[in-house]
């Protein structure tokens, strides 16, 4: 384990970022490595979630434009089920509801309310699946945003403790003796903030986008239910 006040951080030593990290004690270095790994993973999730939400918003926009053009619902349904790509988002909700509606209608002898309830349940199930997909990775970003600063603070406290312990055997301790140890400890807090701040910003933005999509999906379920009820 490195000494509390590293020998390579003596007076007049290089206080560059790399030197501070490599000269830190082993527990502080472990904290730094952990935070850097968490930061890389969170940025990966941020890019994935950004593309997922952009695709979902675009698909919702395109499907609404097609749906409200007033075309034949059977043709729209056939186009979705016969396409090479699996329906996602709003088109998945439509496909699930209309499929159940047609199945129950073909059975015959069922009341309209029972048919509508079955179609609504199918759309709700599809809605829940879509929301699970949109919400994925968001809890991780929330955890990174809330926990990373405290992990970095732990590394800082540990580093500062070691820095002051290293001064115990010195007859005359000055700020120049303890400054390198404190500087290397504070890097852990900086890395913790570096990991937390983007995660918090991304989580708030993505959560807002997911909420807007959820409102659009729920509104479509209600409007499509009314359309099916008129057809029933």
In sequence order, the 6+-apart residues with CB closer than 8 A to the CB of 231 are 73, 101
**pLDDT attached to residue 164:** 74
| Res 210: pLDDT | 95
d(CA 130, CA 97): 14
Tokens standing for 109?
């002898």
Q: Are 185 and 156 in contact (CB under 8 A)?
A: yes
Q: How far is CA 202 from the centre of its chain?
A: 7
DSSP secondary structure of 53-108: HHHHHHHHHHHHHHHTTT--HHHHHHHHHSSSSPP-THHHHHHHHHHHHHHHHHH-
Structure token digits, residue 51? 């593309």
Residues of the chain with pLDDT under 50: 1-13
Q: Residue 50, SS3? A: helix
Is 204:144 a contact under the CB 8 Å cutoff? no
For the whole prediction, is pTM greater than 0.85? no
Place of tokens 């002898």: 109
Pair of tokens at residue 173: 């301790």
């Amino acid at each position: 384990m490195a000494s509390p006040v590293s020998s390579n951080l003596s007076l007049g030593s290089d206080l560059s970022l790399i030197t501070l990290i490599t000269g830190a004690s082993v527990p502080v270095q472990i904290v730094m490595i952990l935070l850097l790994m968490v930061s890389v993973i969170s940025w990966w999730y941020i890019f994935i979630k950004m593309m997922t939400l952009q695709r979902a918003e675009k698909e919702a926009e395109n499907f609404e434009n097609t749906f409200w053009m007033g075309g034949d619902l059977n043709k729209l349904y056939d186009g979705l089920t016969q396409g090479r790509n699996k329906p996602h988002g709003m088109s998945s909700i439509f496909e699930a509801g209309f499929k159940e509606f047609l199945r129950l209608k073909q059975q015959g002898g069922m009341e309209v309310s029972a048919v509508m309830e079955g179609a609504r349940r199918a759309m709700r199930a599809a809605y829940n699946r879509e929301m699970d997909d949109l919400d994925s990775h968001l809890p991780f970003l929330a955890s990174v945003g809330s926990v990373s600063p405290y992990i970095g603070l732990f590394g800082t406290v540990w580093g500062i403790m070691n820095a002051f312990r290293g001064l115990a055997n010195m007859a005359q301790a000055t700020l120049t003796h303890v400054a390198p140890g404190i500087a290397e400890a504070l890097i852990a807090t900086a890395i913790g903030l570096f990991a937390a701040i983007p995660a918090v910003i991304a989580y708030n933005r993505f959560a807002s986008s997911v909420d807007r999509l959820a409102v659009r999906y729920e509104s479509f379920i209600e409007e499509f239910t009314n359309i099916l009820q008129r057809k029933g």
